[in-house]
A and B are shown apart, each in its own frame.
Chain A
Amino acid sequence: MPYLLILGARSDIARAVSHRFARKGLNLCLAARRYEEADRDAKDLEIRYRIRVMTREFDALDFEGHESWYAGLPEKPLGVLCAVGFLGNQKKGETNLTEAKKIMETNYLGCVSILNVIANDFEERKAGFIIGISSVAGDRGRQSNYFYGSSKAAFTAYLSGLRNRLCRVNVRVITVKPGFVRTGMTEDLELPAMLTSSPEEVARDILSAFEKGKDVIYTKWYWKYIMAVIKIIPEKIFKKLNL
């Protein structure tokens, strides 16, 4: 059964992507931590799209276990979507290293740890694709979320390097940088309606990037230009802004 592996399958973006790819007829393996609703999600996708879905418990922070976790899959996936992410609490992180570490470890180390294993397998098989959900927050550090932002910046750089390495063996790596998305992660934030997209819109953009062979995408598309502007603001001015 050829399938797409989805890491962090409980997130709203991952759920929307699952539906998009399932509609194309692709089987899925949904993996997430404390995944109590796994059976319900699987059944739902099977009924709607007549595909096969398996589920796995997966903890991005169990670094040591990743190799054997991947080896334990019944067969190797066609590709992987890494939607593991944790916004955390910036303010708390400033005085509490445990919170800051959790943000950095989930968004960066955890993803690197499992993607290393998968990349090696894909490289050896000369097949596969990797889609990583990073964030526009990684394009420039801001006071409001720089633990999250810096770990996403690191993840973006990691994916860029990985793409450079794997393009030689025809394994594609796609970096996805969503702007504001109305999800469980941002439920308590006031987001500007004009700039905020739904998980479904993000999923649509991801599928289209996959089909068109893109390397890096912003979603929605105009975030590319917003971030271009934000990146060229001189630091002298930027440091005084309230973003």
Chain B
Amino acid sequence: MNIANWGKYPTIDARIRGFRTVGDLKDSFQDAATLIARGLGRCYGDSSLWSTIVSTLKFNRILAFDAEEGIMRCEAGTSLEEVLDVAVPCGWFLPVTPGTKHVTLGGAIASDVHGKNHHKEGAFSDHVLSMEVMLHDGEIIACSHRERQGLFTAVCGGMGLLGVILNATFRLKKIETAYIMQRTIRAADLDEVMDLFEQYADATYSVAWIDCIAKEKKRGRSVFMLGEHALRKDLEGSQFAERPLEISLRKRLNIPSQFPSFVLNRFSAKAFNFVYFQRAKTERSAVADFDTFFYPLDAIGHWNRIYGSKGFTQYQCVMPRDTSKQGLRSLLNIISWGGEVPFLAVLKLFGKGNGNLLSFPMEGYTLALDFPITPTLFSFLDSLDKIVLDYGGRLYLAKDARMSGEMFRRSYGNAARFIDLKHQLDGSDKFRSLQSERLEI
């Protein structure tokens, strides 16, 4: 059947095998010479696409939950939404969450996902205590930061290319309420928003929406958002005070079908960015439930359909802190004058990266841009690649659908080490994806 990930680009005719037990998975290993594991398909590009896909979605049991210590153990197909459903009413939250809860635990580890608290609390894998991985021959190996550390640091962020993650034990974060004290500050340009990131380095959550179309003086105007977990006393007197760990279910909008590709153009993008910026007050504080704060787009089912049938790609790069400002300026300059229109753009300051071989975050600024696919897009993105590379940055593999093998090898310092380890552990090259072929991993 035809299958694509979140960006709807590229598409592949693949055979999908589910597994419910470890035995089922071993059978699939024997039936298929090469394969890749896939969860909810929320990576944007081709990371989890191959002619044979093993779907982890039926392998989604919660195996243990210690509500005193906040430690949970789940099978890899468990979604972060399922984790939250169990954890939040008991006063626990995900230690790190990406911008959607519709990802699986296995996918979160394999992509080494980060969140709005990266500068303080690192990536998701930094909170994983241990996990089990099935290698190409069906052998199951346990690893952690202490035990078989080499394997652990390669599998976290390893895009499923060393084996299939079976389950993981991870630490949760204690919360008093399911609410977030949110603050929004408007920034007039790039310098101002970067100053805000520095100034609010102590905030638990921080991120900025950035207007990449506005030119000259307005270049880089942003809406900067901060968040802290609300304490019980913060909710006193409000309607949420009585049941602080419960939130009411949101109405879910659904994009019923593909938008025609012409809906998104320079004018609609400009209008959207204008409204978004003007709507944000100069400075504002509010209480939001965690769903609204962390997962605003989850409220719109299939929002990827607004990009039309050709799909879209997200270009997410990071550049080291000391070159970020110049690098971002160059990027914004090309983007605001270029013919390709990013509809949505997000800026964030990362903290220090971890030791995982293919982990994306490094200390510095990350910029994420959504582009609808056009015939000229990829050559345009190649020109962005040059800038990112020049400033010592790299691209996020979980979002990527098009970078070259050369770009990958030159930007990921541990690429060679990872490939060596893959030769050692997966000599038959069983675990493959369209991405790993493209990047020659």
Contacts and interface: CB of A to CB of B under 8 A. Distances in A.
Contacts of A41: 61
Contacts of A212: none
B58 A184 contact: yes
B61 A44 contact: yes
Nearest to B74: A44
A21 to B, nearest CB: 17
Contacts of A36: 21, 23
A43 B61 contact: yes
Interface in B80-96: 82, 85-86
Interface size class of A (residues with CB under 8 A): 10 to 19
B18 A184 contact: yes
A12 interface: yes
A234 to B, nearest CB: 34
Contacts of A44: 61-63
Contacts, number: 33
B61 A40 contact: yes
Nearest to B82: A48
A190 interface: yes
A47 B65 contact: yes
Interface in B218-237: none
Nearest to A199: B58
B62 A47 contact: yes
Contact of B1 (A12, A37, A40, A190): A190
A10 interface: yes
Contacts of A12: 58
Contacts of A187: 16-18
B64 A47 contact: yes
A212 to B, nearest CB: 22
A37 B65 contact: no
A37 B23 CA distance: 10
Contacts of B20: 10, 37, 184
B21 A47 contact: no
Contacts of A47: 62, 64-65, 86
A187 B15 CA distance: 9
A43 B72 CA distance: 12
Contacts of A43: 61-64
Nearest to A193: B1
A-B interface, 10 closest residue pairs, ranked by CB to CB distance from nearest: A44-B61, A47-B62, A47-B65, A40-B61, A44-B62, A37-B21, A48-B86, A48-B62, A187-B18, A43-B63
Given A41-B61, A184-B18, A190-B1, 13 more contacts: A12-B58, A36-B21, A37-B21, A43-B62, A44-B61, A44-B62, A47-B64, A47-B65, A48-B62, A48-B86, A184-B58, A187-B17, A187-B18
Interface of B: 1, 16-18, 20-21, 23, 58, 61-65, 75, 82, 85-86
22 contacts: A10-B20, A12-B58, A36-B21, A36-B23, A37-B20, A37-B21, A40-B63, A41-B61, A43-B64, A44-B61, A44-B62, A44-B63, A47-B62, A47-B64, A48-B62, A48-B82, A48-B86, A184-B18, A187-B16, A187-B17, A187-B18, A190-B1
